[in-house]
Structures are given as structure tokens and as C-alpha cells.
Amino acid sequence: MKAVWQGWWRRGRVVARSLQGPVRSPAGLGEPRFRTFDEPLAWVIVALLTIGLVMVYSASIAYADA
């Protein structure tokens, strides 16, 4: 039973090692890239703020009429 357990344990470690990707050194990456403006994120924020503003305006009109 002990041999079966050890064989299973080693087999699991071999599978885990095979799933790991190659280790790359960050030294060869060249110049660091600076973070730039994220335009799609800005458009999503503008769209959500616009929808929120319309919802608040609609609720204000409905509240004033009631």
C-alpha cells in the first residue's frame, strides 16, 4: 500500500511540473512600458454616468409630479 501511495504522489508532482510554464527572466524584456490612458474604460464610465444621470432626472420628474 505504501508503494502505491508513493507512486501516486510522485505521479501527481510530475503532472504539476508539466503544467507549469517556462520561467522567463524579466531582464530581457527591454524598456519598461508606461501605462497609457485606457480609452474604452473611460467610455464605459461616461456611459454609466450618463445612464445614472438620466435615471436620477427621471425619478426627480416623477417625484415632482406626484
| Domains in the chain: boundaries | 39-66
Indicate whether 40 pLDDT > 60. Answer: yes
**DSSP letter string, 21-58:** PPP--GGGG-SPPPP---HHHHHHHHHHHHHHHHHHHH
pTM of structure: 0.45
Query: Which cell is 37 given?
Result: 490612458
What distance in Å separates the CA atoms of residue 63 and residue 66, rounded to the nearest whole number? 5
Residue in the block written with cell 524579466? 26
Residue 54's pLDDT band (boundaries 50, 70, 90)?
A: very high
